[in-house]
Amino acid sequence: MWLLSSRDLRVKYATTWLGYIWAVLDPLLMCAIYWFLFTVVFERHGGVEPYAMFLISGLLPWQWFTTAVSDSTSAFTRDKKLVRSTGASNTIWVGRVVLSSAVSYALTFPILAAALLLFQMPIGPGIVWFPVAFLLQAVLCVGLGLVLAPLCILISDLARVTKLVIRVLFFCSPILFDLSHLPEWLQWVDRVNPMYGILTMYRLGYWPELWNTGSIVASFAISFGILALGIIVFPVLVRPVLKDL
């Protein structure tokens, strides 16, 4: 799995002039755009200061989530011959996608550190939740990948539906705003979106006041629930998939 993931990263970055910079260019560009829109153009309701740091701390892990889930939908089709010829566990094709995207996210840590220095952000004891959030996000991505990878072969439209759902989840996650100003009839969003609690844990080292017990507990329950579902259904779904490849 590590060999496959490292090969994916080499292919992704080694053949471009900017290489590693592409891993951070997209989230930094989006951060600049959203900062301009919601600071200069429109009046912002929600979010904490400095707003640029709030955006960076949310957009970087979100890019990992988006890449891992989107690439999982084609985990079996990107290397059909290799899937058919190898005797390795079929879960390796999902694990490889999650691992390579996790490494890409880890490569952005210097950008996060530079932002902390630039904005002179104090780091509190809540930083211990950062690695917990990292591991929980890996659990969530693996679980979703185990479910989506075979299903997207059996149901051809599911990959497109997945991309649409990711777009909706983006605005239901505390990336642009902390969503604390949502009306009461939308307060359930933080309980059904596992990325809500995960993103909250990433930020507790800088903004401990963002602690939300309900969303964090829900993130653990949903993430491990999806992983358990993936472990159960993957062996059943993968058999007809291998016959169609």
pLDDT in tens, 131-149: 999 999 999 999 999 999 9
Rounded average pLDDT over 211-218: 92
Token pair in block for residue 14 = 């080694």
Q: Are residues 105 and 27 in contact, defined by beta-carbon separation less than 8 angstroms?
A: no
What is the CB neighbour count within 10 angstroms for residue 49? 9
Token pair in block for residue 48 = 């904490």
Q: With 90 as the cut, is the pLDDT of residue 225 above it?
A: yes
Q: With 80 as the cut, is the pLDDT of residue 13 above it?
A: no
Token pair in block for residue 154 = 């059996």
pTM above 0.85, yes or no: yes
- Residue 14 is predicted with a pLDDT of 64
Q: With 70 as the cut, is the pLDDT of residue 195 above it?
A: yes
Q: With 80 as the cut, is the pLDDT of residue 157 above it?
A: yes
Rounded average pLDDT over 119-137: 94
Question: Hey, what's the torsion of the CAs at 159, 22, 203, 196, to 10 degrees?
Answer: -10
More confident residue, 190 or 18: 190
Question: In what helix (H) or strand (E) does residue 177 lie, and over which residues does it extend?
Answer: none
Q: Are residues 204 and 181 in contact, defined by beta-carbon separation less than 8 angstroms?
A: no
Q: Are residues 146 and 68 in contact, defined by beta-carbon separation less than 8 angstroms?
A: no
More confident residue, 120 or 185: 120
Residue with tokens 């599911």: 158
Question: How many residues are recorded in the chain?
Answer: 245
What is the CB neighbour count within 10 angstroms for residue 69? 22
Q: Is 178 helix (H, G, I), strand (E, B) or coil?
A: coil
- Give the angle subtended at the CA of 243 by the CAs of 8 and 5, to the nearest 5°: 10
185: which DSSP letter?
A: G
Rounded average pLDDT over 43-70: 86
